Amino acid sequence: MSITDIQITEKLTHGDDHHDDHQEQSFIFKYIFSTDHKTIAKQFLITGIFWAILGGGLSVLFRLQLGFPDMDMGFLQPFLGDWISNSGKLDPEFYLAMITMHGTIMVFFVLTAGLSGTFSNYLIPLQLGARDMASGFMNLLSYWFFFLSSIIMFISMFLSTGPASGGWTIYPPLSALPQAMSGSGMGMTLWLVSMVFFIASTLLGGINYITTVINLRTEGMTFRRMPLTIWAFFITAVLGLLSFPVLVACVLLLVFDRSFGTSFYLSEIFIGGEALPNLGGSPILFQHLFWFLGHPEVYIVILPALGITSEVISTNSRKPIFGYTAMIGSILAIAFLSFIVWAHHMFITGMNPFLGSIFMFLTLIIAIPSAVKAFNYITTLWKGNLVFTPAMLFSIGLVSFFISGGLTGLFLGNAAIDINLHDTYFVVAHFHLVMGSAAFFGLLAGVYHWFPKMFGRMMDEKLGYIHFWLTFVGVYLVFFPLHYIGIAGFPRRYYSFTNFDAFSSFVDLNSFVTVAAFITFGAQFIFLFNFFYNIFKGKKAPINPWNSNTLEWTTPRVPEHGNWPGEIPKVYRWPYDYSKPGAKDDFIPQTIPYHKTEESNTDFENEEGKKERFDN
């Protein structure tokens, strides 16, 4: 405890010094090479939004191909050039490039960097009562590595041979051999380089989050008083720290195979009219290494969203989150289990069926903590006094998606059923709901909820509602039908289905999904307007617009570098004292000591209150 105290005082004085310098900082250091966690969070958010538009735009383009295969796409020629043939057809290889970039962008750049990067950075110091991250400089590096990685990935999209095209999972040999597809040439090289920088960024960020959570909690902020947001960010950072380095190893071996003639993943290959000398490698090894990251990665994506949802649902239900301890327990259980389920992505790769049995067993265990989370959310709503802010609606939407997509996971996690569903649209529907859309809704809920703190202004509620309803209904209309064509055996990553009798029906359904995708994508522009317009023109936000308990709402309307102008507030209670019987308001912020709330205290809390008086 004493160590923490010293650090806090150090930070305090340090922070205050900084505070004074602050006015003289030039634009570049204030807004571009800033070490302030709030500015870095906004940088992550805006970069994430840029990538989300691009990633979403790509999906709309390839939905066009799937929904209206006979369409003349000549009008896209000004943008896509030679990727559109003179007869107005999309190039099949570019189709694969688009799905690959869509996956890469969404999983890594939007839902990892855009979500964790934004909210871990923004909320960890604010909700813990810290002046800033443990290392502002590492935080700065974290963003700029991400920026560099973004630039490289962006450039790769303009190569004449196209960007990486072997799917976001980049399975070799397809991704290792430029002879196999043109995207596996320079495009793949840039993908790999970009990912290495991306991983460096994630690790720098993650180390910082973990250190900050462990060391810089304000006085009284014990682990058992931390908001669930912070618990989620903390465990997410641990997951990232343990799994991303494995991706580096995995990618590095692929680089060796591609450029230095090694045979880690290659064996007995005859391609482009010649037999390659590589012998003894195993493409399955790559998949093991990849999914050792890849599976924790989906939890890296979803856990922060669940953390945000916990906070938003509790605040707007005016009720404590149900089962706080169980929620922490399930986060820990999910985190642990996420490391030992990876091979359920590989049931039918030819992996030993015995391994398949083990991974099936472990996979279905992970459903239990996930189910507990869903039940706890629903119970939190029960007998609440629900306020439907846009953030609340997005959180409810998230829970709905999490359930829908989670349940289909029980099909895919079952090896025997997976035989027929693997790599079909059923899988596409499953993960787009449970991880894609759910995490995306968590991101949006977070933006709507913390926008007033980030920019000191309010977003427009009505536009928020329109945005929510179009997106929520749109997402279900896009992904629910995909389950059906998945059950019918439609393989994913197909440029066209007209070659097959079995798949040539359902044209109407595919067109329907495409139209729904367009509406959903279009609705995001309402959000963009709402977001950017209100940064400058929005109504000024009150200090605590949602009557929330957590510490960030005790800062000034627009917190400066250092977050609190005076002393850092102390914490006396957990963050979920909403509608406590006897209390005069329906919320008691964490900074209110027990001895001031005798009317609502339990016996135990009265004891604590006495101790507080004694301490003071």
Partner 1 sequence: MLNVIIIIAAILILVILFAIFRVSSLVDVIKGDSSNKIPSSNGLQANLLLLFLIIGLIGGFYYSFGGLEEDFVLPVASKHGVITDNLFWWTMAITGIVFIVTQIFLFGFSWKYQHRENQVAYFYPHNNKLEMVWTIIPAIVLAALVFTGWKAWIDITRESPEGSEVIEIMGYQYAWSVRYPGADNVLGNYDYLKIDATNQMGIDFSDRASFDDFIPREIHVPKGKPVRFNIRARDVIHSVYQPHFRLQMNAVPGMPTQFWFEPTKTTEEMRVETGNPDFQYELVCNKICGQGHFAMRYIIVVDELEDYNEWFKSQEPWLKQNADYLTEVPEKLREVASITVGIENEVWSNVQKGLTNSSSK
* Residues from 318 through 377 that contact partner 1 (CB under 8 A): 318-326, 348-350, 353, 356-357, 360-361, 364-365, 367-368, 371-372, 374-377
Specify the residue, 157 or 381, whose C-beta has the smaller distance to partner 1. Answer: 381
Residue 107 near partner 1 by CB under 8 A: no
88 binds partner 1 (CB under 8 A): no
Measure Cα distances from 394 to 309, 389, 469, 519, 528 in Å: 8, 9, 9, 17, 16
Give the tokens for residue 314.
């509790």
∠ at Cα 190 (189, 191), nearest 5°? 90
Stretch that binds partner 1, among 4-12, 104-112, 242-250, 272-280 (CB under 8 A): 272-280
Q: Is the dihedral of CA 321, 324, 330, 335 positive or negative?
A: positive
Sequence-ordered list of residues with C-beta below 8 angstroms from that of 193, at least 6 positions apart, any chain: 152
Closest to partner 1 by CB, 242 vs 381, is 381
Written as six digits, the tokens of 168 are 């976001």
DSSP 432: I
Which of 496, 558, 560, 585 is the binder for partner 1 (CB under 8 A)? 496
Q: How far apart are CA 329 and CA 341, in angstroms?
A: 18
Question: Smallest distance from the beta carbon of 484 to partner 1, in angstroms?
Answer: 5
Segment near partner 1 (CB under 8 A); pick from 218-226, 290-298, 415-423, 434-442? 415-423
305 binds partner 1 (CB under 8 A): no
| Sole binder of partner 1 in the list 71, 155, 157, 509 (CB under 8 A) | 509
Q: At 275, which helix (H) or strand (E)?
A: strand 274-275
**Distance from C-alpha of 426 to C-alpha of 565, rounded to nearest angstrom:** 53
Does the bond joining 569 to the residue before it have cis omega, within 30 degrees of 0?
A: no
Type of residue found at 445: A
274 sits in which H/E element? strand 274-275
How far apart (Å, rounded) are the C-alpha atoms in residues 396 and 372?
16
Residue whose tokens read 């994913």: 492
Q: Is 271 in the site for partner 1 (CB under 8 A)?
A: yes
**Binding map of partner 1 across residues 219-258, x = CB under 8 A, - = no contact:** ----------------------------------------
> Are 51 and 478 in contact, with CB atoms under 8 Å apart?
no
Using CB under 8 A as the binding rule, whether residue 177 contacts partner 1 is answered as: yes
Q: Per rule CB under 8 A, is residue 24 in the interface with partner 1?
A: no
Q: Do the beta carbons of residue 101 and residue 58 sit within 8 Å?
A: yes
Among the candidate windows 106-114, 134-142, 393-401, 604-612, which touches partner 1 by CB under 8 A?
Answer: 393-401
266 contributes a contact to partner 1 by CB under 8 A: yes
Binding mask 577-606 for partner 1 (x = CB under 8 A): -xxxx----x--------------------
Q: By CB under 8 A, how many residues form the interface with partner 1?
A: 124
- Is residue 301 a contact partner of residue 405, using CB atoms and an 8 Å limit? no
- Asked if 38 interacts with partner 1 (CB under 8 A), we say no
Scored b (16 or more CB within 10 A) or e, 339-376 reads: bebbbbbbbeeeeeeeebeebbebbeebeebbebbbeb
Q: Is 489 in the site for partner 1 (CB under 8 A)?
A: yes
Question: In the range 153-172, which residues lie near partner 1 by CB under 8 A?
Answer: 166-167, 171
Least CB distance to partner 1 at residue 261 (A): 16
3-state secondary structure of 150: helix
Cα 7 to Cα 1, 4, 56: the distances in Å are 10, 5, 44
Full 3-state SS string of 569-596: CCCCCCCCCECCCCCCCCECCCCCCHHH
Q: Is there binding between residue 465 and partner 1 (CB under 8 A)? A: yes
CA 427 to chain centre: 19
Residue 35 to residue 561: CA distance in whole angstroms: 9
Q: According to the binding rule CB under 8 A, does residue 90 interact with partner 1? A: no
457 DSSP β-pair partners:
540
- Residue of 57, 88, 92, 178 that binds partner 1 (CB under 8 A): 92
For residue 109, state whether it binds partner 1 (rule: CB under 8 A): no
Which residues 6+ apart lie within 8 Å of 391 measured at CB? 312, 316, 444, 445, 446, 448, 449, 546
Helix (H, G, I), strand (E, B) or coil at 362: helix
Stretch that binds partner 1, among 8-16, 141-149, 216-224, 387-395 (CB under 8 A): 387-395
**Least distance between partner 1 and beta carbon 206 (Å):** 30
Which of residues 214, 252, 419, 528 is near partner 1 by CB under 8 A? 419
Q: Which residue in 61, 110, 133, 403 binds partner 1 (CB under 8 A)?
A: 403
Q: Can you tell me which of 473, 519, 535, 592 binds partner 1, judged by CB under 8 A?
A: 473
Distances from the Cα of 36 to the Cαs of 9, 192, 258, 291, in angstroms? Answer: 18, 30, 40, 34
Nearest residue (CB) to partner 1, 33 versus 361: 361
Interface with partner 1, residue 417, by CB under 8 A: yes
Quote the least distance from Cβ 272 to partner 1, whole Å: 8
Q: Based on the shown chain and the rule CB under 8 A, indicate whether residue 523 belongs to the binding site for partner 1.
A: no
Q: Which of 29, 256, 339, 484 binds partner 1 (CB under 8 A)?
A: 484
- Quote the DSSP letter at residue 540: B
Q: Backbone phi, then psi, for 80, in 5-degree steps? A: -100, -10
Q: Which of 45, 199, 235, 396 binds partner 1 (CB under 8 A)?
A: 396
The 538-557 site mask, x for binding partner 1 (CB under 8 A), equals -x--x--xxx----------
381 lies in the binding site for partner 1 (CB under 8 A): yes
Q: Does 462 bind partner 1 (CB under 8 A)?
A: yes
Single out the residue of 112, 189, 404, 471 in contact with partner 1 (rule: CB under 8 A). 404
Stretch that binds partner 1, among 119-127, 337-345, 388-396, 552-560 (CB under 8 A): 388-396
Q: Which residue in 407, 402, 398, 471 sits closest to 434, CA to CA?
A: 402
Q: How many CB atoms are closer than 10 A to CB 383?
A: 9
Using alpha carbons, list the distances in angstroms from residue 39 to 32, 134, 602.
8, 15, 41
By CB under 8 A, residue 87 contacts partner 1: no
Tell me: does residue 178 bind partner 1 (CB under 8 A).
no
What's the min distance (Å) between Cβ of 218 and partner 1?
23
Taking the least distance from each CB to partner 1, the nearer of 235 and 482 is: 482
